[in-house]
Amino acid sequence: MPSRPRTDSPHRHEGPAGPARLDRDEARRVWGQNFFRSAGSARRFARQLTGAESAGNDSVTVEVGPGAGRITKELVRDGHPIVAVEVDPHWADRLAELELPNLTVVNDDFTTWPLPDGPLRFIGNLPFGTGTRMLRRCLALGPDRCREGVFLLQKQYTRKRTGAYGGNLFNAQWEPWYTFRRGLGFPRQEFAPVPGSDTETLLVRSRPRPLAPWSRHAAYQRFVEDVFNTSRLTIGEAARALDRRAGPGWLRGARVPPGLRVKDITAEQWADLFHACTPPPARRISPQRRR
């Protein structure tokens, strides 16, 4: 990782979603540019990222959408290498010109930019429009690579991700590998221009002991989706809808009461249901051992 700051433009995309130059008003709208007004608030936000030691010393920190660099300036203070990925060439250039130590500025779209190898920590005041897509991209790396995420998002969205309205498909699909907690909130007046809603930090951590193997995450997520897609209130009804004969059997195997509402199933119960419903593929016995 070069220590000199630079603007790196490995890709140029067509259209407004890529790092084309837009006029300032359009850029603010298209790329959700609501910047922290004060260094103090940016500092409080940045300090929610834990020390490198708990995320693994070998991890690289990626800042998503640094804009004018208020958060970036706080992050470079701990001397850890930072890669800041900014879609807007105007702000990527301005940030590179500051020549901050240990900073690499990349002018690219975070949703398609090829991520560095190895374990990563993510931080960003995410644009409202594409924040969910960015979050998914980080989670999809798996818990060995995505060690931590500190994301500023719309307050309602963070509340949803942290269980304020009960369980939901998104959380059930990711919670075997990650925990989601609420961090600091920042009212809309803390940003310029003022956005339409208040914000709150979503703190994501990879679980040191996942509830299911990451190698089976696709099957796990399909299973959870199938249950939600039945649109039944309780797991017992959902199980019967999915498989009339096997349903009650796997509920008993997972020791989950049939009357439990799907939205009240805990991360641990989802994992037990999955393991009871879809046991790992049987190990092949070689012809020699069969004899």
Ligand X SMILES: C[S@@+](CC[C@H](N)C(=O)[O-])C[C@H]1O[C@@H](n2cnc3c(N)ncnc32)[C@H](O)[C@@H]1O
**Which positions touch ligand X (CB under 6 A)?**
31-36, 64-68, 70-71, 85-88, 91, 109-111, 125, 127, 130
Nearer to ligand X, 66 or 143 (CB): 66
58 is in an annotated binding site: no
Count the Cβ atoms, other than its own, within 10 Å of residue 179: 13
* Least separation in angstroms between CB 34 and ligand X: 5
Q: In the complex, what is the shortest distance from the CB of residue 152 to ligand X, in angstroms, rounded to a whole number?
A: 7
Residue number of the CB closest to ligand X reads 65
171 is in an annotated binding site: no
Alpha-carbon distance of 203 to 253, in angstroms, equals: 33
Of 78 and 109, the one with the shorter C-beta distance to ligand X is 109
The nearest distance, CB 87 to ligand X, in angstroms, is 4
Task: Decide whether 69 or 143 has the Cβ nearer to ligand X.
Answer: 69
On whether 86 is known to bind a ligand per the annotation, the reply is yes
**How far, in whole angstroms, is CA 286 from its chain's centroid?**
41
- Nearest residue (CB) to ligand X, 127 versus 247: 127
CB of 180 to ligand X, least distance (A): 20
Q: Is 107 annotated for ligand binding? A: no
| Site of tokens 């008993």 | 252
CA dist 154 → 66, 90, 161 (Å): 17, 25, 11
Residue whose CB is less far from ligand X, 196 or 287: 196
Looking at beta carbons only, is 121 or 240 nearer to ligand X?
A: 121
Question: Known binder of ligand: residue 168?
Answer: no
The nearest distance, CB 179 to ligand X, in angstroms, is 24
Amino acid at residue number 8? D
Shortest distance, CB of residue 44 to ligand X, whole angstroms? 12
Rounded Cα gap, residues 105 and 8, in angstroms? 7
| Residue positions forming the annotated binding site for S-adenosyl-L-methionine | 34, 65, 86, 109, 125
| Residue positions forming the annotated binding site | 34, 65, 86, 109, 125
